[in-house]
Amino acid sequence: MSAFSGKDGTVLIGSGAVNEVTKFTIEDKCNVGKWGSNLSAGWKKALAGVCEKTGTVEFKIPESGSADMDVGDEVTLTLKPDGSAQQSGLAVIESVSMDVDVDTGDPVGGSFAWHANGAWS
């Protein structure tokens, strides 16, 4: 399979798009219990435990706008890396930040970090 471009990536909170998205990440992690025993021949064994999904979204804030989410909000988040593939589910907003660069005058940006609340599809 060849690589594909993320240039068409979109993020939705509920049914509304987060505008001016510049980047987003999705990370799947699983707690892994590890142990050595008299039956492991000097090597550790491993067993998958509880898993989680986390990530971030970076965006530019419109001149008359603001971030439409707040810390602690539970939202339905849909992440589309391209025009068709998507991951979606409930998420809790962990943090929201704004980036203002007075030195360069770059566009005002924002980001939020999220944690999935349960399994996603």
Q: Is residue 5 part of a domain?
A: no
Cα distances (angstroms) measured from residue 63 to each of 20, 53, 107, 109: 12, 32, 9, 11
Higher pLDDT, 76 or 62: 76
* pLDDT higher than 90, residue 51: yes
Q: What is the mean pLDDT of residues 98-115?
A: 94
CATH number at residue 93: 2.40.30
Please, what's the largest Cα pairwise distance for the chain?
A: 65
- For residue 46, what pLDDT is reported? 97
Query: Residue 87: what pLDDT?
Result: 94
**pLDDT tens, 11-48?**
999 988 888 999 999 999 999 999 999 999 999 999 99
- 100 belongs to a structural domain: yes
Please indicate, yes or no, if residue 105 is contained in any of the structural domains: yes
Q: How many helices (H) and strands (E) does the chain have?
A: 0, 7
Indicate whether 36 belongs to any domain: yes
- Predicted local distance difference test score (pLDDT) of residue 65: 65
Quote the CA–CA distance of 47 and 59 in Å, as a whole number: 38
